[in-house]
Structure 1
Amino acid sequence: MVAEPIVYVIDDDEGVRHSLEFLIDCAGLNVRSFASADGFLDASPPLGDACVVTDVRMPGMNGVELVGELKKRGASVPVIVMTGHADVPLAIQAMKAGVADFIEKPFDDTAMLSAIRAALAQQAGKQAAQAERDQIAERISQLSPREREVMDGLVAGAANKVIAYDLGISARTVEVYRANVMMKMQAKSLSELVRKATLARLS
């Protein structure tokens, strides 16, 4: 079952929270709000298919500090920071902290929804990429040690005869292992096998 995307709104201003909740809900997206960054962190909501919209200036932890804390916890979630102040240094600090977007209050509804949809699309792309890497890693784990050696040779660009020589087996045996590798990795071509092996090394 695929999780529905959700937007977490964090703002100590109740009026802003409610207006954002209404805007996001009318756009057909799930939304949940918090009055503080600390309250959000204490709740530990699921972040896999989510984005965060937070005010930059709040009692306790501010929006930029929240981005840093999420990173420290290994949470990969796009964060959109709002501010009621034309504060250029703070905007630069937020961008350096890795926020997905920086929006000044009062914001345009269309611009806010556009930023939220872009952040959710970015998160969905990350999730899909990680799911593919996990799938590839699972397939690699099903290879025998010899099949793994043959795959490493193929990915390195070695010909069957070279792999056979390096492993002390016949070229015909390499062909058999190669066919097994392609089948288990569900790769239709050598270039696809190389792409899959490269993705696995990035995970």
Structure 2
Amino acid sequence: MDSARHIILVDGDLRRRAAISHYLSGRGVHVEPFETVAELGGHWPRQGLIMIHDNGTAIVQLTEQLVQSGNWLPVVAFGEKPAPRRIVEAVLGGAIDYLAWPFDDAELDHMLMTADDRAENVGHARLREAVARSRIERLTQREREVLVGMAAGHSNRSIAEQLAISPRTVEIHRAKMLTKIGAAHTSEAIRVAIEAALVRETSH
């Protein structure tokens, strides 16, 4: 609960940011306000809860910053009259909760009470997945296909036949793929593919 009592507020609207800061401070919460994720990046926090206005792109930007920092802090999104689709997208993007502004006192209190536990449950998994996805994004389409074939347990020859290329070319793609994602061996590359949801764990 300690981190939930320290909130990093990210909101591009000055009046709303001031109103939320005043509201949270009145409920015993320490608030650090920022206008943008980029501004926050220059003062990256090691602890606390990030409350961010959902403007359509901010959560994606924040997730990228969290991956770069290697420190996954709990994220709560908020918006005015949010559509269900936006809430779903925010949660899929890594938010542990979504509040409608103006905040409901009971909903806010519940979020503050449960934020740490919920963050601990999903934070490490979210961070692993986000890091893995960022590593997979370095690969070419062909390198991804080779990785999927490896994860499915296929040999170089089998992968070559499926992709209509030579086994030697598969070896080259395989070596480049391992280097790009920073994997020392095949099993580590497969783990990254699973964490990035590129393949299902049952596929190998």
TM-score, scaled to structure 1: 0.50
Q: Which runs of 5+ in 1 are unaligned?
A: 128-203
Q: Which residue of 1 aligns with 2:61?
A: 65
Question: Alpha carbon RMSD of aligned pairs, Å?
Answer: 3.0
SS at structure 2 position matched to 1:91? helix
Q: Which runs of 4+ in 1 moved over 4 A?
A: 2-5, 121-127
Instruction: Give the Cα–Cα distance (whole angstroms) in 1 for the partners of residues 3 and 99 of structure 2.
Output: 27
Q: Which residue of 2 aligns with 1:40?
A: 40
Instruction: Give the Cα–Cα distance (whole angstroms) in 1 for the partners of residues 110 and 16 of structure 2.
Output: 18
Over 3 Å counting, the alpha-carbon distance change for 1:125 and 1:102 in structure 2 is closer
Q: Which amino acid aligns with 1:90?
A: R
Deviations 1:70-124 (A, max 9, x none): 1343222110001225333322221112211012233313312321332145458
Over 3 Å counting, the alpha-carbon distance change for 1:51 and 1:22 in structure 2 is same
Q: Which runs of 5+ in 2 are unaligned?
A: 124-204
Please tell me whether residue 106 in structure 1 is matched to residue 102 in structure 2: yes
Q: Which residue of 2 aligns with 1:55?
A: 53
Q: Which residue of 2 aligns with 1:30?
A: 30
Q: Which residue of 2 aligns with 1:82?
A: 78
Deviations 1:144-164 (A, max 9, x none): xxxxxxxxxxxxxxxxxxxxx
Computing the radius of gyration over CA atoms, which structure comes out larger, 1 or 2? 1
Instruction: Give the Cα–Cα distance (whole angstroms) in 2 for the partners of residues 100 and 3 of structure 1.
Output: 14
Over 3 Å counting, the alpha-carbon distance change for 1:64 and 1:29 in structure 2 is same
Deviations 1:146-187 (A, max 9, x none): xxxxxxxxxxxxxxxxxxxxxxxxxxxxxxxxxxxxxxxxxx
Over 3 Å counting, the alpha-carbon distance change for 1:109 and 1:63 in structure 2 is farther
Q: Which amino acid aligns with 1:16?
A: R
TM-score, scaled to structure 2: 0.50
